């Protein structure tokens, strides 16, 4: 043991005996009140948030002493002491700059390799810059390049309440004896490690970490990235556990959990290390599903990457912690992955199918991060997509290999492709790789572009270069960069080498993979492919341009390399996803067999582009959709594209609704998923016109009659999961629109549930919502009590959605006030608020009154300063659902009472957008209804009856 490590341990044990808050330390020659840093940052603007690379950490040795409520003077705080071995990488370094967002720096010393003190500037030895979270250490003489120095820092901080602020935070649960239990854990991604200990808190600064955790003696449920090497007791009331050294990794991957009763609830010891599922004591016996997911996905990735988990580092554990509280769905902390309980405690008798399927992709996503994210990490968050895009791709493709019954490869389109097409059609969209500096910019980069577009780009690339070459490229990338940060060029080099070795692009003439990569990674947006078919000659003229969803936005001259696939009536091969041609120009001409027939481009919608055809080809497609076996993913693509073409002014509503006539006979999940989304967008813009909305709903319900009859109201034993998903989506939508049989069946089942009958979770969503929407105060009280006594987070979430469906203003206010209590966990509050806006516009007015009367409490309980800005989002979302009267009231309240609030500007912008939506609906209502009437001439259902039912149940 080195002198500095021994000193650290002795010093830590001194304060760990309970004296640290009064520890004298020995008064140094500077005061503890740290002055703010004068303007010494020389890098300009937002780039100043980045650390210089002149000093790098090698190994951290970190002692954290956690205080719970046993310390009355400073409850829920911690004291820390760390030793960091560092090196200078450049000459003449006289300032060591690292991150720190702790409450106090209590002592700081620097030692050379011989253990002798290195003199600091006696006038200002160290200083902080709160704006950048910088801790700056000022030296009298420069560091020697390549020599190990040891930096000692003593500090203290506060434990955040709840998961929303991340960092070190505390959660709670009630055990089987009715006792409230507090646990402390961490969520550091992407820049919150600095809140636990001063560090170089950027992904590029990889180092090894050794943790030592002290807590009250009863807190024996303690876990971290690695196993416990040894522990010892401190006095009679505390324990300290010493964890093994981690692999070299980015600081955001450090994690720990300290609790009284968290325990291993499922385990597979045939792996090295054992795979363990860890959760609170009263979910013991409910971890088998999660264990099955992790075991199978570990097996898949071990084989796929040919770099088994067991070989990555000898000290890593393979633990998976399921927490009642978690800000996101899951986080890939190396050796101790953490998940929100909502998604991982699965019971077929209590969990809806969509959650069951999502749990498989979530486990697969987080396990994929072990290789893409942990072993190899993006150098900086401008390339977040290199972590998240690959993990999202494998999350579905990998899980599909191990759980084929879910057909997750097909759900990739509705999860990632649709999100990308929607989001990336905006003028303000950004490319996969783009500059981010500030914490807010970094947080925002963990969104649709990095996760969804990143995954879509990865899948599209694999289709082009073949799965074999793609797998080889992944292995090259991981092997060459393991335990290191990497950038987009490291990835490009691995792909280029694998492509060259396999000669996998030889079938494409004049295709430049480097340019393909450059455009899709570094340019925003995606194209629309305009197809004009000469049905006499068979010549197909292709023209691409960037697609914008706004009809008022002019397109640009940007050219995207597009993978071309297509099928015709005489040559249909939809499942062949290998492109026959790479279109790298604005225009091209392809030839098919001469003669009139339908043509459909973009097999299974694997390419990231939309397609528009000439009128005659659209007519042929519309006819084919009614009686030809076109693949369901391409039918879904056509529905998706038609709604987008109508929105962007490229297709009339009359034409669009004519094409969509085939939905009357459609029963496929993927097709109806995008159709419901498209219809919902139109309905939102007609919400302020009740009669128009009621008539429009009647036509939608007429189209849905066949699929409602196909899925039925009663789930069958061993039905395919996609059938369960179809029923879930269709019945929720149909009941909301007032479908008579759907409403009556759901009410009947809700009443039966009140009398003790078990209701299949595959239909609970529509039963809960419809039962409350048409129910009484007694029904509301019943579901509220059921929620409060449930042990299943996923069922609790569906009950929240159900309670929010009430049409009673008094009950809705009760519900909204309920969201301000701790019974609705902080990570659920924004979603719970949003559920209340799914009802009619009268409900939105009730929500507005709640906001006006409770804004201060909302800011506190919804965690206003959380990185994801839930209060901003709630106030923006409210504007989207108000009518003109409500918007006027909302704007007046904002201008007269909230002009200095953080949400003022974004809320006003949302009001302006909402007014634009109302104006669009007013201007287009008659055109939409005329088109719907023309497209519904073959609907056999009684339109009169449906109009009456829809008008009674008008919702936004």
Report if residue 596 sits inside a domain.
Answer: yes
Token pair belonging to 658: 């004519």
Report if residue 44 sits inside a domain.
Answer: no
**Residue 481 and residue 549 in one domain:** no
**Residue 133 and residue 146 in one domain:** yes
- 176 in Cβ contact with 186 (< 8 Å): no
Report if residue 642 sits inside a domain.
Answer: yes
Q: Which residues contact 545 (CB under 8 A, 6 or more apart)?
A: 527, 528, 530, 555, 556, 586
Q: Which residues contact 331 (CB under 8 A, 6 or more apart)?
A: 187, 189, 255, 337, 338, 339, 366
Q: What is the pLDDT of residue 348?
A: 87
Backbone torsion region of residue 187, taken as left when φ is above 0, otherwise alpha when ψ lies between -120 and 50, otherwise beta: beta
Q: What is the CATH number of the domain that holds 599?
A: 2.60.40.1910
The vertex-17 CA angle with 13 and 23, nearest 5°, equals: 80
Tell me the sheet residues that pair with 259.
221
State the residue range of the domain holding 605.
Answer: 527-649
> Residue ranges of the chain with pLDDT lower than 70?
1-44, 935-956
Question: pTM of the full predicted structure?
Answer: 0.93
Q: Which of 492, 522, 552 is where one domain is finished?
A: 522
Report if residue 366 sits inside a domain.
Answer: no
**Residue 214 and residue 316 in one domain:** no
Choose, from 366, 640, 729, 876, the residue flagged as catalytic: 366
- 245 in Cβ contact with 210 (< 8 Å): yes
- 49 in Cβ contact with 241 (< 8 Å): no
**Residue 899 and residue 787 in one domain:** yes
Transcribe 193-207 into DSSP letters.
Answer: GGGTS-B--STT--B
**Residue 150 and residue 64 in one domain:** yes
How far apart (Å, rounded) are the C-alpha atoms in residues 381 and 145? 28
Q: What is the pLDDT of residue 546?
A: 97
- Dihedral sign for Cα 143, 147, 153, 157, please: positive
Q: Which residues contact 464 (CB under 8 A, 6 or more apart)?
A: 505, 516, 563, 578, 579, 582
Among 911, 905, 870, residue whose Cα is nearest residue 889: 911
Tokens 């849905």, located at residue: 704
Q: Which of 522, 550, 571 is where one domain is finished?
A: 522
Q: What is the pLDDT of residue 628?
A: 86
**Residue 947 and residue 831 in one domain:** yes
- Phi/psi of residue 99, nearest 5 degrees: -95, 145
Query: What length does the chain have?
Result: 956
Q: What is the CATH number of the domain that holds 424?
A: 1.10.390.10
- 560 in Cβ contact with 526 (< 8 Å): yes
**Structural domains in the chain (count):** 5
Token pair belonging to 264: 């291993």
C-beta atoms surrounding 440 within 10 Å: 11
How far apart (Å, rounded) are the C-alpha atoms in residues 815 and 780? 9
Tell me the sheet residues that pair with 208.
59
- Dihedral sign for Cα 11, 12, 14, 19, please: positive
Report if residue 47 sits inside a domain.
Answer: no
Among 556, 567, 566, 572, residue whose Cα is nearest residue 523: 556
- Phi/psi of residue 533, nearest 5 degrees: -100, 130
**Residue 545 and residue 472 in one domain:** no
What Cα–Cα distance (Å) separates residue 748 from each residue in 745, 755, 757, 772, 783?
5, 11, 11, 12, 15
- 626 in Cβ contact with 665 (< 8 Å): yes
Q: Which residues contact 500 (CB under 8 A, 6 or more apart)?
A: none
- 163 in Cβ contact with 325 (< 8 Å): yes
How far apart (Å, rounded) are the C-alpha atoms in residues 809 and 843? 7
What Cα–Cα distance (Å) separates residue 493 from each residue in 124, 169, 513?
46, 41, 11
Q: Which residues contact 522 (CB under 8 A, 6 or more apart)?
A: 431, 432, 433, 434
**Residue 635 and residue 695 in one domain:** no
Q: Which of 259, 294, 328 is where one domain is finished?
A: 259
Tell me the sheet residues that pair with 184.
170, 258
How far apart (Å, rounded) are the C-alpha atoms in residues 759 and 763? 7
Question: DSSP label at 561?
Answer: -
**Residue 667 and residue 643 in one domain:** no
Query: Among residues of the chain, what percentage have pLDDT more than 90?
Result: 90
Burial 877-889 (b: 16+ CB within 10 A, else e): bbbbbbbeebbeb
Report if residue 45 sits inside a domain.
Answer: no
Report if residue 836 sits inside a domain.
Answer: yes
**Residue 268 and residue 338 in one domain:** yes
**Residue 186 and residue 322 in one domain:** no
How far apart (Å, rounded) are the C-alpha atoms in residues 597 and 613? 13
Q: What is the CATH number of the domain that holds 697?
A: 1.25.50.20
For the chain, give the mean pLDDT: 92
- Please say if 366 is a catalytic residue: yes
C-beta atoms surrounding 908 within 10 Å: 19
**Residue 620 and residue 689 in one domain:** no
C-beta atoms surrounding 437 within 10 Å: 17
- 136 in Cβ contact with 99 (< 8 Å): no
Tokens 């395919």, located at residue: 720
How far apart (Å, rounded) are the C-alpha atoms in residues 706 and 675? 14
Report if residue 861 sits inside a domain.
Answer: yes
Q: What is the CATH number of the domain that holds 132?
A: 2.60.40.1730
């Amino acid at each position: 043991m080195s002198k500095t490590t021994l000193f650290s341990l002795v010093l830590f044990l001194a304060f760990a005996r309970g004296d640290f808050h009064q520890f004298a330390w020995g008064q140094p020659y500077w005061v503890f009140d740290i002055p703010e840093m004068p303007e010494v940052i020389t890098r300009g603007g937002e780039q100043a948030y980045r650390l210089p690379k002149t000093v790098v950490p090698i190994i951290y040795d970190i002692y954290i002493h956690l205080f719970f409520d046993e310390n009355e003077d400073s409850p829920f705080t911690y004291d820390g002491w760390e030793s960091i071995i560092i090196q200078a990488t450049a000459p003449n370094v006289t300032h060591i700059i690292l991150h720190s967002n702790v409450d106090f720096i209590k002592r700081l010393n620097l030692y050379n390799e011989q253990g002798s003190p290195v003199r600091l500037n006696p006038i200002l030895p160290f200083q902080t810059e709160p704006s950048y979270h910088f801790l700056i250490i000022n030296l009298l003489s420069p560091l020697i390049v390549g020599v190990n120095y040891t930096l000692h820092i003593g500090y203290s901080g506060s434990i955040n309440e709840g998961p929303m602020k991340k960092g070190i935070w505390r959660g709670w649960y009630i055990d089987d004896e009715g006792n409230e239990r507090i646990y402390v854990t961490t969520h550091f991604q992407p820049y919150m490690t600095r809140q636990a200990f001063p560090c170089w808190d950027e992904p590029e600064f990889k180092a090894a970490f050794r943790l030592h955790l002290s807590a009250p003696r009863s807190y024996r449920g303690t876990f971290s990235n690695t196993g416990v090497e040894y522990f010892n007791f401190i006095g009679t009331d505390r324990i300290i556990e010493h964890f093994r050294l981690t692999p070299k990794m980015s600081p955001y991957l450090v994690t720990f959990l300290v609790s009284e009763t968290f325990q291993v609830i499922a385990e597979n010891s045939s792996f090295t290390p054992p795979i363990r599922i860890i959760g609170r004591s009263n979910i013991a016996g409910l971890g088998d599903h999660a264990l099955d997911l992790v075991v199978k996905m570990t097996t898949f990735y071990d084989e796929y990457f040919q770099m088994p988990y067991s070989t990555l580092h000898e000290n890593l554990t393979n633990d998976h912690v399921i927490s009642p509280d978690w800000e996101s769905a899951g986080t890939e902390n190396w050796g101790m992955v953490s998940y929100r309980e909502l998604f991982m405690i699965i019971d077929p008798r209590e969990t809806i199918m969509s959650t069951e399927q999502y749990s498989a992709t979530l486990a697969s996503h987080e396990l994929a991060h072990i290789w893409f994210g942990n072993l190899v990490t993006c150098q900086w968050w401008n390339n977040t997509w290199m972590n998240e895009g690959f993990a999202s791709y494998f999350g579905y493709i990998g899980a599909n290999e191990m759980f084929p019954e879910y057909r997750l490869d097909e759900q990739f389109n509705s999860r990632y492709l649709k999100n990308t097409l929607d989001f990336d059609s905006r003028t303000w969209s950004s490319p996969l790789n783009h500059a981010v500096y500030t914490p807010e910019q970094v947080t925002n980069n963990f969104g649709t572009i990095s996760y969804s577009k990143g995954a879509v780009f990865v899948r599209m690339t694999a289709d082009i270069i073949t799965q074999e070459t793609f797998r080889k490229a992944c292995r090259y990338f991981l092997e060459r960069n393991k335990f290191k940060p990497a950038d987009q060029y490291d990835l490009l080099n691995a792909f280029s080498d694998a492509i060259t070795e396999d000669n996998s692009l030889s079938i494409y003439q004049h295709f430049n993979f480097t340019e393909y990569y450059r455009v899709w990674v570094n340019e925003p947006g995606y194209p629309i492919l305009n197809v004009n078919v000469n049905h006499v000659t068979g010549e197909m003229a292709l023209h691409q341009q960037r697609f914008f969803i706004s009809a008022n936005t002019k397109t640009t001259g940007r050219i995207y390399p597009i993978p071309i696939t297509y099928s015709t009536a005489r040559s249909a091969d939809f499942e062949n996803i290998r492109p026959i041609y790479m279109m790298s120009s604005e225009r091209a001409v392809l030839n098919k067999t001469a003669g009139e027939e339908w043509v459909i481009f973009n097999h299974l919608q694997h390419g990231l582009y939309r397609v528009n055809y000439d009128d005659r080809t659209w007519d042929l497609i519309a006819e084919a959709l009614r009686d030809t076996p076109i693949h369901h993913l391409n039918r879904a693509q056509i529905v998706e594209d038609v709604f987008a073409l109508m929105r962007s002014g490229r297709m009339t509503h009359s034409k669009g609704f004519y094409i969509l006539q085939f939905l009357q006979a459609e029963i496929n999940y993927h097709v109806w998923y995008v159709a419901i989304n498209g219809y919902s967008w139109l309905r939102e813009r007609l919400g302020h016109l009740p009669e128009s909305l009621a008539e429009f709903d009647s036509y939608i319900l007429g189209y849905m009659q066949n699929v409602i009859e196909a899925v039925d109201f009663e789930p069958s034993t061993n039905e395919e999961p996609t059938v369960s998903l179809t029923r879930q989506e269709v019945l929720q939508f149909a009941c909301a629109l007032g479908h008579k049989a759907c409403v009556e069946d759901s009410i009947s089942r809700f009443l039966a549930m009140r009398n003790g009958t078990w209701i299949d979770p595959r239909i609970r969503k529509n039963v809960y919502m419809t039962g409350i929407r048409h129910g009484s105060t007694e029904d509301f009280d019943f579901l509220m009590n059921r929620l409060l006594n449930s042990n299943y987070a996923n069922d609790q979430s569906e009950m929240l959605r159900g309670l929010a469906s009430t049409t009673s203003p008094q009950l809705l206010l009760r519900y909204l006030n309920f969201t301000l209590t701790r019974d609705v966990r902080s990570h659920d509050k924004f979603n719970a608020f949003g559920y209340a806006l799914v009802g009619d516009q009268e409900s939105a007015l009730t929500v507005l009154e709640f906001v006006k009367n409770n804004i201060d409490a909302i800011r506190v309980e919804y965690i206003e300063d959380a990185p994801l800005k839930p209060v901003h989002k709630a106030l923006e979302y409210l504007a989207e659902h108000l009518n003109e009267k409500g918007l006027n009231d909302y704007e007046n309240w904002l201008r007269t009472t909230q002009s200095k609030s953080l949400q003022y500007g974004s809320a006003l912008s949302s009001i302006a957008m909402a007014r634009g939506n109302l104006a669009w609906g007013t201007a287009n209502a008659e055109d939409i209804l005329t088109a719907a009437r023309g497209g519904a001439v073959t609907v056999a259902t009684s339109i009169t009856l449906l109009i009456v039912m829809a008008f009674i149940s008008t919702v936004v």
